[in-house]
Structure 1
Amino acid sequence: MNLPNRITLARICLIPIMMFFLLVDFDFYAQLHWGSFELSVNHLIAAILFLLAASTDGIDGYIARKHNLVTNLGKLLDPLADKLLISAVLISLVELGRCDSWIVIVIIFREFAVTGLRQIALLEGKVVAASKWGKLKTILQIVAISLLLLNNFPFQFISIPFDDIAIWAAAIVTIISGVDYFVKNKELLQLDNA
């Protein structure tokens, strides 16, 4: 197994560890306090693990392309790891009451729909490459999730609900990017007349 695939597998392995810190209610439940700002230590650890896992996404792809290590396993694992990471955290944020469920449903629905489109493309021998909208969607989702995990740090000090703004922006761009993928690849969805 090559280095990019190991990095991708490490990202997948970080997910249950991150979920443990995010969802398990520790007895000591230590809190960080800074004025009116509070954050549990276990949620801080979960946020750090999320950022670490999210940062490996670009690294594995860069190494694979630069050193000609792109494999079919990597093509399968990389998007799977991304979807598992984002979905697991968003569902947990709903459980914790930090994110509206309808936003999470929209984001996860788009991820499944685009994954299905990519599967159809693969059956036709084509590849649906990531678009600019798709890349922006990923960045906004990572920013929004990070802010939600960190209780809107540092923006709560200036009373700007940037975590809410970011998750709304992520939802809107997620919808736009999904529509963009389907419009640009509509020929893949044509019914076979034979």
Structure 2
Amino acid sequence: MNGTALLVCDVQNDLVDPKGKVGAGGLAKIVAERNLLSNLKALIASVRGKGWPVVYVGLGYREDYQDVLSVAPRIAKARESKVAVRGEWGAEFHPDIAPQAGDIVFYKQWVNPFFGTPLLEWLRRNGVGSLLIAGTATNLVVESAARYADDAGFAVSVVEDCCASPNPAWHEFAVTQILPVFGKVISSKEIK
């Protein structure tokens, strides 16, 4: 199991687009300032060029949110705003980085992309031993993915310039203090 895959987490319209329900609150501005979409688009092209799999995991809720287990305050806000409702524009991956034929897509109703999805089994079945992780938010899905992937025995590399958080201080803390405990923090330019 030494293959590499790119895990693209929660880069969806409601989060990263200025018209999105979360994006309009400031995250889209941070995504733009960090050039996240263009950096991620280039990374995805590079990964596809190497023949490595690109795996997308995104939020996808029922309109009534009855499929959500968490009772955290962020879920109450998401439910009120109807963030990432399956079948709606907001739950779609941003068109700049959207999945293509051959990519794998999983949907979840929580932070951890491994919980309640077939992600782990798919990675193992396909010989993946090394994960590149990118997405929004750094301090939520990216950190959760890195923690779980490390526990499951994957070599983890978080692609810092392909991640963002609604608060830049959260991103900075995650990439300097938390994520190095679980793997490498790298730039997309380091992937050869």
| TM-score (normalised: structure 2) | 0.27
- Indicate the structure with greater helix content: 1
Structure with max Cα Rg: 1
- Indicate the structure with greater strand content: 2
Greater relative CO (CA pairs within 8 A, separation 6+): 2
| TM-score (normalised: structure 1) | 0.27
